Structure 1
């Protein structure tokens, strides 16, 4: 029975199997160590400025670490082993968060935020490298299937673990008891992370024409010159950065709106996250079909437009029940954006410089991450939370508009090429 289910989900592709299992355990680790981190911070006495730093500091750290880390992985004897070292470090660091409640109460919020930000040093490198490694282990026509299956099964895992964690956290209303629960979850996430890394080690690079793919490691200056002269990549990068700015600007606003304005506790956060995850699970197969039928350019334009409407839906939600019902749309379009962003990035990267192309994209989106949440909070202080959400929506829709323009331009170029071929 189990083997039949494996064949149905993964076919005969062992890489898809281990890639998916790695994704499932990655999700469990993330939920247990970071899923309720913002509420953990709130219980330690965090306020709006801590929420902003919580969202912005990881991006600031990643700006200075992603490209050097990627170069280190590229130049190592084994990309997989060096990648594993960064994963081990990233799984250990949340244990430091679990130690924060033992510190003086006055410094707990800022120390928590600083550790959370520093965690992004190994995480940004390992996550970016795994994105690049996806190109090593799957052929282009396999990537949509691999990304869809991994994301779908990961969301099912998130759904399950979120319900369980939310139920356990709701058993007590005593602040100290809930904090101890958070500490236990973080230790558990470390143990699960060890198995997650084991599955990553089982992923094998593809073989093409019976020759294992090996890339030379070009010099940094040559790599940067090459990728920034690649028009398709630069066009995608510009669109992505504009959209990411609006996307990331809303993160502290959503946290603040849910917790401070609508009074969400752990149980409500669980319900909101579970419903969003459920609709993501249901929609991944739909997005896979859209990608295969209409390609990545159409898909990312459509998905980002839907995400542009999300802050408006938040602003219109006057209570937690209404906000929860809005998660159907949020989950649907987030699923599409998640799959389409990575697939689009891999599709436009110059193959010889793919690792550096992915690293540059990650670094520049980290720049927006370091700035956007702080700007979101600043706007919130000036024009209140609803106004800030509308501004965020406008910026997201502007980002989507450039993706739509990119898609329309590709249609025009395709039509021109067909006409030229007919005339010949």
Structure 2
């Protein structure tokens, strides 16, 4: 019989291996789906916007329903296994789609597949976040997720660089190379699910949870919890500005700067190199100064990214910019999730994680559409400036929360605002 400490160590090891295999598929699909849709399938700007908005809509629906379902299951692990398995089947469906669908409708159909895939993926992500909150103690999270994120980012870099080099050997509008990549993603997902199965979940030690019903009153209830409410407001503003520019980056890099697959890989690898080197740094900063202050500085760095992007179409410049912005991406990826776990009560963890994902997901539905709308009305540079201003506004709210907390409680060192 293993002790609780041994179970924690085992789960940490399996989580890293599981995350590594998952990252292969997620990176290939995440990085090259837009290139596949734009270059190989000749998608319109509206379809590129849908490539961001429709998956966000599915994620919102999945989070909404998933929180209700997850509050009624005995094993979060089994729920996560089923959801992940269904999500990964879509990799294969995307690979096979060109054999059955032809003409202009193919691009829209692939966008639909990518969107629907995000429903089970949203269920998987929600259940995984809640499961990790149960399996990894709070005092180990910063160090563990720093190590895990660094390793999975190395995997992501490999899964970005090698496919990018391979695609460079083919015409930009060639479809079969992308199909091969999506099939490989499916194969890696088998190992992802296998190591997820190996996690040890003690359902007898799970804290009591309240069954969730998402009525209007239930959706407003989380706002009564002050630390979560404050964090959510700042995150809403920042994420709206962040996600507004997502389709603009893809359009700018591919259509304005004429980046090929190898350059898209270079952008991502540059960012990932910096992330690998700085995950543990952000973990130490958060332990010393608190999550809110560390997250605020990470958001401040990300606020400048849109306007710095449109300074030049030089591909070497854009690669260098991604090298710098990777520093702030790593901070946001690590600290936003850690801070979310920090500000939610254990007994309401699933409900509040779901609430957060739903609200941020709504931002992901609306913001990209507004970004493309602004692109058509005021063109690329002003649209990027709008993104920067909104990101900066969210950052200032984080700093305001810190100042307010210090003013309310003199001498406070805990930043749970």
Q: Do these two structures clear the TM 0.5 threshold for a shared fold by scoring above it?
A: yes
Instruction: State the SS of the aligned residue for 1:175.
Output: coil
Alignment match, 2:67: 70
1:60 equivalent to 2:57? Answer yes
1:387 equivalent to 2:382? Answer yes
In structure 2, relative to structure 1, the CA distance for the partners of 1:133 and 1:158 (3 Å cut) is same
1:186 equivalent to 2:182? Answer yes
In structure 2, relative to structure 1, the CA distance for the partners of 1:266 and 1:384 (3 Å cut) is same
Q: Shift in Å at residue 319 of structure 1?
A: 1.3
Asked if the contact 1:97–1:112 (Cα under 8 Å) also holds between the matched residues in 2, the reply is: yes
In structure 2, relative to structure 1, the CA distance for the partners of 1:237 and 1:206 (3 Å cut) is farther
What is the CA–CA distance in structure 2 between the aligned matches of 1:379 and 1:327, rounded to whole Å? 24
Which digits, 9 at most, give the CA deviation of each residue in 1:272-316, with x for residues without a partner?
111111011011111011011111011111111111111111011
Instruction: State the SS of the aligned residue for 1:264.
Output: coil
Alignment match, 1:15: 11
Asked if the contact 1:252–1:376 (Cα under 8 Å) also holds between the matched residues in 2, the reply is: yes
Q: Shift in Å at residue 163 of structure 1?
A: 1.4
What is the CA–CA distance in structure 2 between the aligned matches of 1:206 and 1:96, rounded to whole Å? 35
Q: Shift in Å at residue 59 of structure 1?
A: 1.2
1:80 equivalent to 2:80? Answer no
Alignment match, 1:151: 149
What is the CA–CA distance in structure 2 between the aligned matches of 1:203 and 1:145, rounded to whole Å? 19
Instruction: Spell out the pairing of 1:392-407 with structure 2 (5 A cutoff).
Output: 392-407=387-402
Instruction: State the SS of the aligned residue for 1:204.
Output: coil
Mark the runs of 5 or more structure 1 residues left unpaired by the alignment. Answer: 1-9, 419-424
Q: Shift in Å at residue 124 of structure 1?
A: 1.1
What is the CA–CA distance in structure 2 between the aligned matches of 1:269 and 1:138, rounded to whole Å? 35
What is the CA–CA distance in structure 2 between the aligned matches of 1:155 and 1:229, rounded to whole Å? 36
Provide the aligned length of Structure 1 versus Structure 2.
Answer: 404
Matching residue within 119, 128, 131 for 2:129: 131
Mark the runs of 5 or more structure 2 residues left unpaired by the alignment. Answer: 1-5
Instruction: Spell out the pairing of 1:237-252 with structure 2 (5 A cutoff).
Output: 237-252=232-247
In structure 2, relative to structure 1, the CA distance for the partners of 1:162 and 1:219 (3 Å cut) is closer
Alignment match, 1:113: 111
What is the CA–CA distance in structure 2 between the aligned matches of 1:12 and 1:130, rounded to whole Å? 15
In structure 2, relative to structure 1, the CA distance for the partners of 1:268 and 1:404 (3 Å cut) is same
Alignment match, 1:346: 341
1:283 equivalent to 2:278? Answer yes
Which digits, 9 at most, give the CA deviation of each residue in 1:13-44, with x for residues without a partner?
22221111121111101123332000100111
Q: Shift in Å at residue 114 of structure 1?
A: 1.1
What is the CA–CA distance in structure 1 between the aligned matches of 2:142 and 2:402, rounded to whole Å? 19
Q: Shift in Å at residue 205 of structure 1?
A: 4.2
In structure 2, relative to structure 1, the CA distance for the partners of 1:95 and 1:295 (3 Å cut) is same
The alignment's TM-score, normalised by the length of structure 2, stands at 0.92
Alignment match, 2:27: 31
The ranges of structure 1 where at least 4 consecutive aligned residues each deviate by more than 4 angstroms after the TM superposition are 221-226
Alignment match, 2:90: 93
Instruction: State the SS of the aligned residue for 2:245.
Output: helix
Alignment match, 1:256: 251
What is the CA–CA distance in structure 2 between the aligned matches of 1:322 and 1:213, rounded to whole Å? 50
Alignment match, 2:363: 368
In structure 2, relative to structure 1, the CA distance for the partners of 1:234 and 1:206 (3 Å cut) is farther
What is the CA–CA distance in structure 2 between the aligned matches of 1:280 and 1:408, rounded to whole Å? 28
Matching residue within 212, 216, 231 for 2:205: 212
Q: Shift in Å at residue 343 of structure 1?
A: 0.5
Asked if the contact 2:164–2:262 (Cα under 8 Å) also holds between the matched residues in 1, the reply is: yes
Asked if the contact 1:59–1:370 (Cα under 8 Å) also holds between the matched residues in 2, the reply is: yes
What is the CA–CA distance in structure 1 between the aligned matches of 2:407 and 2:256, rounded to whole Å? 47
What is the CA–CA distance in structure 2 between the aligned matches of 1:275 and 1:350, rounded to whole Å? 37
What is the CA–CA distance in structure 2 between the aligned matches of 1:407 and 1:212, rounded to whole Å? 35
What is the CA–CA distance in structure 2 between the aligned matches of 1:246 and 1:174, rounded to whole Å? 31
1:231 equivalent to 2:229? Answer no
Asked if the contact 1:32–1:188 (Cα under 8 Å) also holds between the matched residues in 2, the reply is: no
The alignment's TM-score, normalised by the length of structure 1, stands at 0.91
Instruction: State the SS of the aligned residue for 2:48.
Output: helix
Alignment match, 1:422: none
Deviates more, 1:343-352 or 1:75-84: 75-84
Deviates more, 1:97-106 or 1:382-391: 97-106
In structure 2, relative to structure 1, the CA distance for the partners of 1:250 and 1:204 (3 Å cut) is same
What is the CA–CA distance in structure 2 between the aligned matches of 1:199 and 1:407, rounded to whole Å? 40
